[in-house]
Amino acid sequence: MMVSHATTTLVAVIVHAIVYYFAGWEIAPNVISIVAVILIMFPVVFRNSRAIWINIFVNYNPDYKKKRMM
């Protein structure tokens, strides 16, 4: 969950920076674009966040399949 929040925040900040460059401090374009991008990017953010979280706690063992087959 923490990785997902951090990733989503990063996406929102990047979108805000891009929209701010074109539209300034107008609230509507910022909110609409951030919500749209977050909804579109949700599956990607969810999948990558889960992979990052799993890789923090589970180590990759390349010899696992060889040991398992014996």
- Regarding predicted confidence, which is higher, 8 or 69? 8
Quickly state the pLDDT bin for 1 (edges 50, 70, 90).
confident
Q: CA triplet 12, 17, 20: central angle to 5 degrees? A: 115
Tokens of 67: 């040991």
Distance CA 57, CA 55 (A): 5
The 10s digit of each residue's pLDDT in 7-66 is 999 999 999 999 999 888 889 989 999 999 999 999 999 999 999 999 999 888 878 777
Whether 24 contacts 18, CB under 8 Å? no
Distance CA 8, CA 31 (A): 14
In the predicted model, is pLDDT for residue 68 greater than 70? Answer: no
Amino acid at 23: A
What residue spans define the domains of the chain? 2-69
